[in-house]
């Protein structure tokens, strides 16, 4: 259970989308400092915000962030990428990039920050997955989020001895650039960010951030044919 007031947090991909909403939510709840990253330098001059460049595909870039943010107590692995394409005919490089950003990126961040979280009392690691971790039909993106879910669950075990709370987050569509081309009902980034921080502060290990995600998780024991993107409505 980690209350964010007075804490130091890191939000990867905090310049825009859900990451920006997480930064806003953390500031509203009294975080002492939040490191917010983007792939290029940018300015956020609100008190308590420290911007930093981060490319999660680069171990050197992740190491530089860890050096800068050595006082971090809560790390949000939010940065992610969606390059939609079928598995059979899509560009293999795009599939590789999605795994590198969505799976190995958060793992690089977790490896770099684990000793920092340990030194600062345990803290928390929050990893962003998707309802598509569980649903077929979004090609390599869903596959990467399924892998990310598994990574998070094993990290929870590996980080337990140092008392780090590990939170896996699953959500349906959120109204950000990532899904601007998708014509479906979407949650606002602000409401999802609030649910994530609520779960963190309540000591949860998993956040199911909306109703569709709750329904899909409940359907996991049912027929696999129903675990499809289109069946999720």
Ligand X SMILES: NC(=O)c1ccc[n+]([C@@H]2O[C@H](COP(=O)([O-])OP(=O)(O)OC[C@H]3O[C@@H](n4cnc5c(N)ncnc54)[C@H](OP(=O)(O)O)[C@@H]3O)[C@@H](O)[C@H]2O)c1
Span near ligand X by CB under 6 A; candidates 12-20, 151-159, 195-203, 219-227: 12-20
Choice from 2, 4, 19, 212 touching ligand X (CB under 6 A): 19
Regarding 232 and contact with ligand X (CB under 6 A), the answer is no
Q: Which is nearer to ligand X, 80 or 123 (CB)?
A: 80
User: Cα–Cα distance between 163 and 118 in angstroms, integer?
Assistant: 8
Number of residues that bind ligand X (CB under 6 A): 27
From residue 159 to residue 188, the character string flagging contacts with ligand X as x (rule: CB under 6 A) and all else as - is ------------x-xx-xxxx---------
Please state the closest distance from residue 161 (CB atom) to ligand X, in A: 27
Say whether 186 is catalytic. Answer: no
Residue 141 and residue 30: Cα distance in Å, rounded?
Answer: 34
Q: What are phi and psi of 123, to 5 degrees?
A: 60, -145
- What is the SS3 string spanning 119-159? HCCCCEEEEECCHHHCCECCHHHHHHHHHHHHHHHHHHHHH
Please indicate whether residue 145 is annotated as part of the active site: yes
* CA–CA separation, 126 and 207 (whole Å): 10
Q: Taking CB under 6 A as the criterion, which residues in 56-115 touch ligand X?
A: 56-57, 78-81, 101
Query: If you search the block for the tokens 């990126």, which residue do you land on?
Result: 105
Task: Kindly report the backbone phi and psi dihedral angles of residue 74, in degrees, each rounded to the nearest multiple of 5, phi listed first.
Answer: -135, 125
Give the shortest CB-37-to-ligand X separation in angstroms. 6
Judged by CB, which is closer to ligand X: 122, or 206? 206
Q: Please, what is the minimum distance in Å from the beta carbon of residue 130 to ligand X? A: 4
Which two structure tokens, joined as six digits, stand for 108?
């690089």
Candidates 33, 35, 42, 141; catalytic one? 141
Is residue 140 a contact point for ligand X (CB under 6 A)? no
- To ligand X, the closest distance from the beta carbon of 121 in angstroms equals 26
Check: CB of residue 51 under 8 Å from CB of residue 44: yes
Q: How far from 145 is each of 51, 92, 115, 126, CA to CA, in Å?
A: 26, 17, 25, 14
Residues 188-227 within binding reach of ligand X (CB under 6 A) = none
Residue with tokens 């949650």: 187
Containing H/E element for 17? helix 17-28
Site residues (vs ligand X, CB under 6 A): 12-13, 15-19, 38-39, 54-57, 78-81, 101, 128, 130, 171, 173-174, 176-179
| Catalytic positions, written as ranges | 141, 145
């Amino acid at each position: 259970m980690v209350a964010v007031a007075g804490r130091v947090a890191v939000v990867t991909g905090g310049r825009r989308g859900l990451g920006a909403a997480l930064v806003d939510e953390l500031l509203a709840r009294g975080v002492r400092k939040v490191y917010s990253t983007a792939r290029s330098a940018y300015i956020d001059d609100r008190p308590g915000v420290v911007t930093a460049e981060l490319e999660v595909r680069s171990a050197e870039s992740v190491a530089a962030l860890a050096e800068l943010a050595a006082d971090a107590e809560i790390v949000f692995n939010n940065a992610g990428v969606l390059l939609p394409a079928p598995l059979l005919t899509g560009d293999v490089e795009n599939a590789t990039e999605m795994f590198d950003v969505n799976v190995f990126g958060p793992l690089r961040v977790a490896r770099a920050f684990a000793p920092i979280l340990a030194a600062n009392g345990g803290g928390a690691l929050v990893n962003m997955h998707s309802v598509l971790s569980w649903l077929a039909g979004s090609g390599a993106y869903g596959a990467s989020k399924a892998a990310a879910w598994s990574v998070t669950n094993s990290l929870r075990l590996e980080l337990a001895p140092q008392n780090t709370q590990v939170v896996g987050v699953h959500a349906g569509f959120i109204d950000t650039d990532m899904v601007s081309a998708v014509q479906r009902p979407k949650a606002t980034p602000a409401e999802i960010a609030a649910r994530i921080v609520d779960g963190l502060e309540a000591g949860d290990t998993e956040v199911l951030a909306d109703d569709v995600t709750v329904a899909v998780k409940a359907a996991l024991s049912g027929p696999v044919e129903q675990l499809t993107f289109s069946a999720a409505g």
